[in-house]
């Protein structure tokens, strides 16, 4: 992947009007329906939503790892340093995975190969992309294992994934992802399977590495609690669209969309003593049959007639923030 910039390279990464659909036995699942966002160096954007909201599909589209078919990208651009990844040949994209854009996957146990030592798997990045020999690749693996705070890295570089705890395996995944100093790191639910203490350690590690390398980071999560201290901006997704976009402090202080408000009310907050927790009723829609109007209307406590017929656009509701709700001002004032 070339690092050449063009006049449109205003941001490190920008996703423009992206659509992704899956052709299934049940019909066409409209997984992403016109998503736009950008990411700059050193910045963390959290993409938040329930399962099926389209956040992981967005990440896979950026990485170029969607299976096509069944996936299809009928429209959109993904500009990395001004170049559209979607029009690049596969070989160029493959070479960019690692040194330019890299990803930490959710499930380290199934993402790591159980039959190879972890050091071999970390070292593969250097053998494949840098032509390193076996012993240099192992030396790099030890260095990276030390960097992600795996105790006894030298002794454990030839151990297998099942010999590590869940938190340590996630550190190994992170070591692989940052091995070639990527400019963009996508972390897809990096702490979901871990207990709260280990979650906090992993998030701290990701933040440290981000500052060290000035990476742009996209943090994908269903948990608003995880992103409060880490993200600069948040994009909330529902049924394949961004329904609210704002700086992190604004979202927590004054959500501008009923869905975001519902998500916030479902997590315990240290700043709100005696708070009643409540879950959003109902389930996310089947993506082959997204409801007309506002896709959230069957679950929204504020829904009115217009919501069932007219789709709200994502409109500015303040500095650096937008919301796709006919009544976002009411939500802000509530």
**327 scored as a contact of ligand SF4 (CB under 6 A):** yes
Pairing of strands 233-238, 241-247: antiparallel
Cα–Cα distance, 57 to 20 (Å, whole number)? 8
Does 303 contact ligand SF4 by CB under 6 A?
A: yes
Choose between 120 and 296: whose C-beta lies nearer to ligand SF4: 296
Among 296, 314, 317, 332, binds ligand SF4 (CB under 6 A): 296
Helices (H), the chain: 55-63, 90-96, 108-111, 118-130, 134-147, 153-156, 166-178, 196-213, 224-227, 248-253, 258-265, 305-309, 328-333
Binding residue (CB under 6 A) for ligand SF4 from 15, 312, 317, 332? 312
What three-state secondary structure class fits 195? coil
Name which of 156 and 326 has its Cβ closer to ligand SF4.
Answer: 326
* Range in contact with ligand SF4 (rule: CB under 6 A) among 58-66, 122-130, 178-186, 290-298: 290-298
Does 264 engage in binding with ligand SF4 (CB under 6 A)? no
Alpha carbon distances (Å) from 64 to 29, 87, 90: 19, 11, 8
**CA-to-CA distance for 46 and 43, rounded, in angstroms?**
10
**To the nearest whole angstrom, how small is the minimum distance from the Cβ of residue 296 to ligand SF4?**
5
Of 108, 260, 326, 332, the one binding ligand SF4 by CB under 6 A: 326
Looking at the Cβ atoms of 186 and 294, the one nearer to ligand SF4 is 294
Q: Which residue has the tokens 């146990």?
A: 109
CB nearer to ligand SF4: give 52 or 258.
Answer: 258
How far apart CA 103 and CA 98 sit, in angstroms, is: 8
C-alpha to C-alpha distance for 99 and 91, rounded to whole angstroms: 14
Q: Is 307 in the site for ligand SF4 (CB under 6 A)?
A: yes
**What gap in Å lies between CA 18 and CA 15, rounded to an integer?**
7
For ligand SF4, the closer of residues 93 and 241 by Cβ is 241
Applying CB under 6 A, which of residues 300, 314, 317, 332 lies at the interface with ligand SF4?
300
Question: How many residues of this chain interact with ligand SF4, rule: CB under 6 A?
Answer: 12
Among 258, 262, 284, 285, binds ligand SF4 (CB under 6 A): 258
Q: Which is nearer to ligand SF4, 78 or 280 (CB)?
A: 280
Tell me which residue has tokens 């939503």: 49
Cα separation, 300 vs 282, in Å, equals 9
Tell me how crowded residue 165 is: count the other CB atoms within 10 A of its CB: 10
Residue 325 interacting with ligand SF4 (CB under 6 A): yes
- Residue 81 found at the interface with ligand SF4 (CB under 6 A): no
Three-state DSSP class for residue 231: coil
263 binds ligand SF4 (CB under 6 A): no
Shortest separation between residue 300's beta carbon and ligand SF4, angstroms:
3
Secondary structure of residue 225 in the 3-state scheme: helix
Single out the segment in contact with ligand SF4 by CB under 6 A; choices: 25-33, 63-71, 152-160, 294-302: 294-302
Q: Looking at 297, 317, 322, 332, which residue binds ligand SF4 (CB under 6 A)? A: 297
Q: Which residues bind ligand SF4 (CB under 6 A)?
A: 258, 294, 296-297, 300, 302-303, 307, 312, 325-327
């Amino acid at each position: 992947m070339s690092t050449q910039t063009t006049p449109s390279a205003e941001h490190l990464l920008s996703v423009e009007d992206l659509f992704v659909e899956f052709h299934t036995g049940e019909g066409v699942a409209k997984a992403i329906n016109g998503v736009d966002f950008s990411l700059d160096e050193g910045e963390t954007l959290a993409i938040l939503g329930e399962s099926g909201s389209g956040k992981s599909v967005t990440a896979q589209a950026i990485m170029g790892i969607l299976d096509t078919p069944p996936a299809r990208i009928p429209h959109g651009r993904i500009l990395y340093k001004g170049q559209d990844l979607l029009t690049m040949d596969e070989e160029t994209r493959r070479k960019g995975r690692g040194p330019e854009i890299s990803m930490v996957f959710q499930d380290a146990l199934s993402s790591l190969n159980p039959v190879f030592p972890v050091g071999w798997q970390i070292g593969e990045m250097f053998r494949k992309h840098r032509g390193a020999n076996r012993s240099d690749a192992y030396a790099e693996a030890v260095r990276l294992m030390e960097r992600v705070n795996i105790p006894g890295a030298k002794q454990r570089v030839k151990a297998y994934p099942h010999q590590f705890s869940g938190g340590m395996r996630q550190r190994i995944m992170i070591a692989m992802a940052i091995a070639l100093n990527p400019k963009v790191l996508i972390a897809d639910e990096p702490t979901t399977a871990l207990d709260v203490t280990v979650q906090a350690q992993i998030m701290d590690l990701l933040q440290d590495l981000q500052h060290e390398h000035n990476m742009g980071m996209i943090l994908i999560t269903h948990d608003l609690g995880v992103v409060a201290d880490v993200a600069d901006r948040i994009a909330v997704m529902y049924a394949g669209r961004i329904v609210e976009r704002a700086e992190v402090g604004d979202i927590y202080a004054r959500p501008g969309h009923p869905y975001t408000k519902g998500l916030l009310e479902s997590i315990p907050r240290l700043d709100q003593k005696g708070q009643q927790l409540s879950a959003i009723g109902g389930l996310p829609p089947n993506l082959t049959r997204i409801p007309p109007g506002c896709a959230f209307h069957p679950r929204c406590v504020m829904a009115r007639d217009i919501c069932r017929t007219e789709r709200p656009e994502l409109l500015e509701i303040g500095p650096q923030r937008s919301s796709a709700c006919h009544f976002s001002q009411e939500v802000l004032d509530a």
